[in-house]
Structure formats: C-alpha cells, structure tokens
C-alpha cells in the first residue's frame, strides 16, 4: 500500500497521531477538536507558561472551555509540550503560528520558518504537513516545500503538504472550528486528497481547491473584502460627520434592502490579527508580481486614520466643556478589539489611549474581559464600575461595546461621552458625540 492510501486509512480509523504547532487562538481550538473527535493529539507550544496552564486544565482561549481542556487531557487524547522532538512520532502536523507584519508592512513569516525547521529533521515518509497560518500566496510552495525536500523526500508521494486557511472568529457563538467550511489546497492533487481526508473526520464541510496558492488567496480575499468595505463605511461616517447626518441611521435604513447590499459598520479602527494585517499580505505580493492594489492601500489608510478621528472627537467635546485634553481625566471603555472577547491584538483602543496620553490626558481604562494591557502601555485600570467612580472622569469614550456593560450609565454620570460603536443607540444629548 502506498503512503497516500495508508495515511487516509489511518485517518478514517482514527488511528493517526496528530500534532499541532502553536496553541493560540487557532491551534488550541483545533487540537481540542481533533481530540474530541477521537484522535491522539500532541500540542507543541513554545510558551512554557501556556504549556503549564494547559497541563493544569486551564484555558486562555475564550472559545475553549477549561473543562474541555481538562477532559481531553484526562482522556489521554490530548497532551501538550514545548519539546519539538515529539514531531518524530506524529503522522500529521498543523502549523498554527503567528504571521505579523513588520514595521514596514512586509510579511514576517519567521514563525512559519521556525516551525518548518522544527519539522524538517523529523519529517518521515507517510507524513502530512498543513499550514494554517495566514500568509501570502506562494508561501507553502516557495518557502515550506524547499525546506521539507532537503532530505530527498518527494511531496505528493513520500509526504504530503497543503495549506488550509484558518477562519476563526473569536467569541462567535454560532460558528466555531468544526462547523466553518474548511478550504484546503495541496501542493499536488494527492496532497489535497490526503489533507481533505483528515479534515473530513472532524469538520462538517471540506472545500478542496486546486492548489495551495488558491487556498492561500482565499483567506486574503475574505479579509480584504471586509477591510475594503469597512474602509468605505468609515469614509461614509467621516462624510456624514461633516454633513451632520447620523451614519448609523443611514446604515440601518440601507440594510432593509433585501438584495445587493450587506451592512458594514464604522468604528474607531480595525483590530485583531486578521483584518488589519491580511490585506497587506495580498498587496505586498501583488507589488512583487508587478500589480498595484490601490483599493487595499486606500482602505488601509482610511481605517488606520480612525483613531486620530476619535481623538479629534474627544478634543471637540472637551472644548465644548471648556476643558483642554491636557490634564483631563478620561475613561476608555473597552480595550479588546471587539466585544465579548479578551483579545487586544491590534486593538484601536491601544492607539487611541496612546494618542490621548501623548496629548497630556490622564487616561484610565475599563474592560470586564481584559485583565491587563500589553507591555509598554502603563495606564490605570478602573476596576469598579459605579456612579461614584464614573463621576470622577471628565469624559468617557466607548471604543469597544462589550455585552453586559451598562453604557447608558455613562450619560448619567459622566459630563461627556464619545460613542464610537453606537452603544448608546436611541440616546440623545448635547454631551454625546457619536462617530
């Protein structure tokens, strides 16, 4: 029996030993999903603190309950380690590591390269490698494949290599790892077939495409679509601001059209690991190919300018109160990049707070989901939400609207409020500015 059929049979019988490199917002839910499906899974994570937390049965990912981690560990289906040598034992490995941008907005694939270099010496015949980290088209074929073929093994025959874009939406109660259609494209048709065979054991729907390049571009299109449309509605919001039109009312009315339109909403800027970053992977690759991604670049400019717009709103509202920004005590409500989660990656709140701090404001923050700010941003946290404490601020700015936060109380107890999320829909006040 050839390696292709043997590996497919292992997947079908749930006898394959699976590995996942990177136990973050993508890797941990995937590892737990594999384990719940009946596979033996080894998670490899470089952070010793995360490994220790998982071994205690704790979870640091909002979509993975601690009880599920503890249960899978107790069953023996899931183990976690920081020791890469275990990769020699696995039949398949998913790479789920970060792919940030450099300061010049060039792709940083060093984490991917490090992960592949870990696999390389331990690659063996009959092994499947799947990259899930978002990256530019061509990464799987141009970067990963040469590393894995150094020892003479042939992709599509001796081992199998594919790309499958992660589509995680942290905090989404409806769509999670297993019920989001899983796109997969291999270096060869055999690679696509083997990777699809694995995902078919766990995912509700698998969508094979003709190549890894297509699969890589699928993810970038999805998030570029969102970035461009958010950029458009942010520009509309800026226009409506100058024309004294409520952009939120405009959007709600437009959304009643049952065809040819879907609502996107303005905000203080883009956050998370995907939308602020992925479009620039596509524009970077387009430039290398001699093409120009003007829509992508313009949307990025508009979206990245929104924190400054929010600060201008804060300044204007304080001016009406005859107060300068310098010396004012300001409360930023919500610092996660979206409501209902604890993730502050690329959150516009961080930029807004930094800008206000640079302007001389005494900046505080409140967020029931977030325990602390990233290193380098040392600001006071409001830990108790009460009328007494809210009255101590000159202005509050709602940057992220978490469910359960009584935002209307801000209007009752703060002299002024800037609402960037329409959390105070239906409320009017001369001391309330919306985006």
Which residues are the active-site residues? Answer: 274
Q: Tell which residue, 123, 111, 131, has the closest CA to residue 147.
A: 123
HSE toward the beta carbon, residue 393, CA cutoff 13 A: 31
Query: What long-range pairs does 32-37 form, CB within 8 A, spacing at least 24?
Result: 32/64, 32/68, 32/69, 32/72, 32/78, 33/177, 33/178, 33/202, 34/202, 35/72, 35/75, 35/77, 35/78, 36/68, 36/72, 36/77, 37/201, 37/202
Partnered with residue 365 across adjacent β-strands are 332, 381
Q: Are 22 and 45 in contact (CB under 8 A)?
A: yes
Q: Are 309 and 319 in contact (CB under 8 A)?
A: no
Phi, psi (deg, nearest 5) at residue 55: -65, -25
Q: Are 401 and 334 in contact (CB under 8 A)?
A: yes
* First-last CA distance in the chain: 63
- Tracing tokens 């010793």 back to the chain, one arrives at 48
* C-alpha–C-alpha distance, residues 301 and 52, integer Å: 41
- Tracing tokens 């949307």 back to the chain, one arrives at 299
Q: Tell which residue, 305, 309, 313, has the closest CA to residue 330.
A: 313
């Amino acid at each position: 029996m050839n390696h292709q059929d043997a590996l497919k049979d292992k997947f079908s019988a749930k006898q394959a030993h699976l590995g996942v490199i990177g136990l973050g917002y993508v890797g941990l839910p995937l590892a737990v999903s594999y384990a719940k499906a009946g596979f033996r899974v080894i998670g490899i994570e470089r952070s010793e603190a995360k490994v220790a937390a998982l071994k205690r049965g704790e979870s640091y990912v909002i979509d993975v309950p601690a009880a599920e981690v503890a249960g899978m560990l107790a069953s023996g289906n899931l183990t976690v380690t920081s020791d890469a040598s275990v990769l020699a034992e696995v039949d398949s490995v998913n790479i789920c590591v970060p792919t940030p941008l450099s300061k010049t907005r060039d792709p940083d694939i060093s984490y991917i390269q490090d992960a592949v270099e870990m696999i390389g010496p331990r690659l063996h015949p009959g092994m499947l490698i799947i990259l899930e980290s978002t990256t530019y088209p061509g990464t799987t074929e141009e970067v990963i494949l040469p590393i894995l073929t150094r020892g003479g093994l042939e992709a599509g025959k001796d081992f199998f290599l594919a790309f499958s874009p992660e589509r995680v939406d942290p905090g989404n109660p409806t769509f999670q790892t297993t019920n989001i259609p899983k796109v997969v494209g291999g270096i060869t048709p055999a690679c696509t077939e083997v990777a699809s065979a694995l995902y078919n054991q766990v995912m509700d729907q698998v969508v094979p495409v003709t190549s890894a390049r297509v699969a890589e571009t699928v993810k970038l299109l999805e998030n570029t679509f969102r970035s461009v449309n958010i950029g458009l509605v942010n520009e509309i919001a800026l226009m409506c601001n100058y024309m004294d039109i409520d952009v939120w009312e405009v959007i709600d009315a437009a959304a009643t059209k049952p065809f040819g339109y879907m609502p996107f909403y303005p905000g203080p800027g883009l956050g998370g690991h995907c939308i602020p970053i992925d479009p620039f992977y596509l524009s970077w690759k387009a430039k290398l190919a001699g093409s120009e991604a003007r829509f992508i670049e313009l949307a990025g400019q508009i979206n990245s300018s929104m924190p400054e717009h929010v600060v201008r709103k804060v300044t204007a509202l304080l001016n009406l109160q005859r107060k300068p920004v310098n010396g004012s005590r300001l409360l930023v409500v919500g610092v996660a990049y979206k409501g209902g989660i604890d993730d502050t990656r690329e959150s516009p709140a961080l930029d807004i707070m930094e800008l206000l701090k640079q302007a001389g404001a005494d900046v505080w923050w409140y967020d029931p989901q977030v325990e602390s700010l990233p290193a380098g941003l040392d600001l006071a946290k409001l830990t108790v939400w009460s009328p007494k404490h809210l009255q101590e601020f000159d202005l509050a700015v709602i940057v992220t609207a978490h469910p359960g936060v009584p935002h209307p109380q801000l209007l009752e107890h703060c002299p002024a409020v800037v609402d960037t999320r329409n959390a105070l829909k239906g409320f009017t006040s001369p001391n309330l500015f919306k985006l």
